[in-house]
Amino acid sequence: MDEVADPVEVEDVVRRYYGIVSDLSSSADELRAVLAPEVVIVEHPNALTATGAQRDLAQSLEGFRRGKALLREQGFVVHEVIVQGERAAVRATWRGVVGASIGPLQEGQELVAHVAAMLTVRDGLIARHETFDCYEPFTTMPPR
């Protein structure tokens, strides 16, 4: 008989995951500790990733490192987590401040995304994360 997922555990894992991703001082090892080895992370097309992306564990850890290098501040506010079985629906707001000008992004520019995501937690680890990031319009920074 299959074990039924504990909704409190699923929510705790999801919130811990978002906390690690939010924290610019967290390490790749901390992130790896909450991701299943076979994790799949799907990012649907958005203002920063025009064609979307699908990442495995290694690609996700590399993206985690790249994001830390780009930003000087970031954070998620998780507004709600709704759990059914091993699945969690999340509504969150992400804010990040660009640390160095790159492409169309300017140092000091604040980015805001309203996020809806579906996550699957198996054996206490994130096995799948599918995210729909809706960015607020980018503002042009005034000249310094």
Residue-level pLDDT at 3? 64
Determine, yes or no, domain membership for 98: yes
Cα four-point dihedral sign 101, 102, 104, 105? negative
Give the separation between CA 112 and CA 63, rounded to whole angstroms.
18
Q: What's the number of domains the chain is made of?
A: 1
Determine, yes or no, domain membership for 114: yes
Determine the residue type at 22.
S
Determine, yes or no, domain membership for 143: no
Residue-level pLDDT at 7? 86
- Nearest Cα residue to 140 out of 100, 111, 117: 111
Determine, yes or no, domain membership for 141: no
Residue-level pLDDT at 139? 73
Determine, yes or no, domain membership for 16: yes
Determine, yes or no, domain membership for 68: yes
pTM of the model as a whole: 0.91
Report the CATH number at residue 22. Answer: 3.10.450.50
Residues of the chain with pLDDT under 50: 1, 143
Determine, yes or no, domain membership for 100: yes
- Domain containing 15 equals 7-135
Determine, yes or no, domain membership for 128: yes
Q: What is the percent of the chain with per-residue pLDDT over 90, rounded to a whole number?
A: 85
